[in-house]
Each structure stands twice: as C-alpha cells, then as structure tokens.
Amino acid sequence: MSGFDLSGLTASFGGERVIGPLSLTVREGEQVALVGKSGAGKSTLIRLIHERVNRESSLVPQDLGLVNALPVFHNVFMGQLDKHATWYNTLTLIRPFSRNRDEVRELLKALGMAEKFWLPTASLSGGQRQRVAIARALYRNAPVLLADEPISALDGPMAHLVMALLKERFQTSIIALHDVEMALKYCSRIVGIQDGQVALDESSKRLTASDITSLY
C-alpha cells in the first residue's frame, strides 16, 4: 500500500479542536506538500496520518526523534529496527554488520555527512541532525514518506539536494513545508491547511506562489 484514503481525522488539545474533522485521499505516486502558517495543524495532521499508516511510512518528525548518546550510524540504523530480530539489533549496537555499515555510509555520503558516521549525534549542528533523521527515513525505505519541515535548518543548496533526494527515493510522500517555492518545485500537489481544515487542494502546476501565500 502506498496510496491511502483517510477520513474522520480529528484532534483536540485542552478541549479545543485543532484538526478536522477532515478527509484526505493520497494516491500512489503523489507527492503532497502541506502548507499553511505555524499553528494551522500541519504537524498534528502528519502525526494523525502516521498513526493510521505507521508501518507503511518513513517518518521525519519535527523534533527529529534522535538518540543523542548514540552515534550517527545507530540513529540511522533505527529506521530498520523493526525489520530485524532483537539479537540482531543488540549485536548491531556492539559491532554492526558490514552490510548495514555500507548501506548507512552510502546514505550519509549522499547527504554530505560520510565523515560523521561514528560521531555522537549530540555533537552535531541543527542542520546535520536534520540530515541524520532524513537518512533514517531513507534507510527505513517504507512506501510512504511523512516529513514535518525536513529542510527547516538547511541552507539553500543542501535543502534542494535533500528535497531532490526525497522526491527520487519516495514515490509517495506528504511533506509539511514552510517554503512555498520548494513546495511548488518538488511536490505534485499542494494541500493548504488553515484552522485545522483543508483550505486549498490543487495540482502544483495550476498554482503560483501568490495563490498559496494567502494561507499565511
């Protein structure tokens, strides 16, 4: 499954409804950008979708969900923890198999971070940490990517490199983005969220940046 049809998505905090009820159908091969101002409900929506399609998705949460005490390699390897037996994962903590080392090294190389392989994740900059979370999602290699502001800490050239890599590796994706130009360039469909509801849903080809900025 890499397309899905979700209905009745709702979320409330402190008695206040922040999302929905809304429905979202994503077809296989669609690359969807979620746009809208901070607090519109994009992060909550990503989390709700992840709860529904958990095992089918590679997730890049906004808080990244990294284990600071572990090296970069182990944080990336976590993308496949549920694909291996406990003994395998325990052994990997002590002495990783060469196949896994090589796979992770290739991903880090593609993200310009090969030299960070054994560094503790706590020692990295914000942009480097973001790339570790992206490498973990790539390593998981699930049918669907769910990413919440995955390029917020990256400079222009690196942000473009990452978005191009995600577009190439994941056929189907939902990515929350602040950058409207990035959304139009790398995603095939724009879904605008306003006050927890879908306020815009259109093919990228039919939109310009000014069509979207009204949501902000």
**pTM to 2 decimals?**
0.94
Cα distance from N-terminal residue to C-terminal residue, the chain: 33
Average pLDDT on 92-109 reads 96
Superfamily of domain 4-213: P-loop containing nucleotide triphosphate hydrolases (3.40.50.300)
2-43 pLDDT, tens digit per residue, is 788 888 889 888 888 888 889 999 999 999 999 999 888 999
- Provide mean pLDDT across the span 72-101: 95
Residue 1 confidence class, pLDDT cut points 50, 70, 90: low
Structure-token pair, residue 200: 């815009």
Predicted confidence at residue 58, as pLDDT, reads 97
Helices (H), the chain: 42-53, 72-77, 86-94, 98-110, 126-140, 156-169, 180-186, 209-213
Q: What average pLDDT does this structure show over 98-121?
A: 97
Residue 62 has pLDDT above 80, yes or no: yes
Percent of the chain with pLDDT over 90: 83
**114 pLDDT more than 60:** yes
Domain extents in the chain: 4-213
pLDDT digits (tens, 9 = 90+) for 138-156: 999 999 999 999 999 999 9
Contacts of 115 (CB under 8 A, 6+ apart): none
Q: Tell me the CA distances in angstroms from 150 to 34, 118, 146, 197, 207, one per residue in order.
A: 12, 22, 10, 22, 22
DSSP-derived letter for residue 30 is: -
- Whether the Cβ atoms of residue 193 and residue 42 lie closer than 8 Å to each other: yes
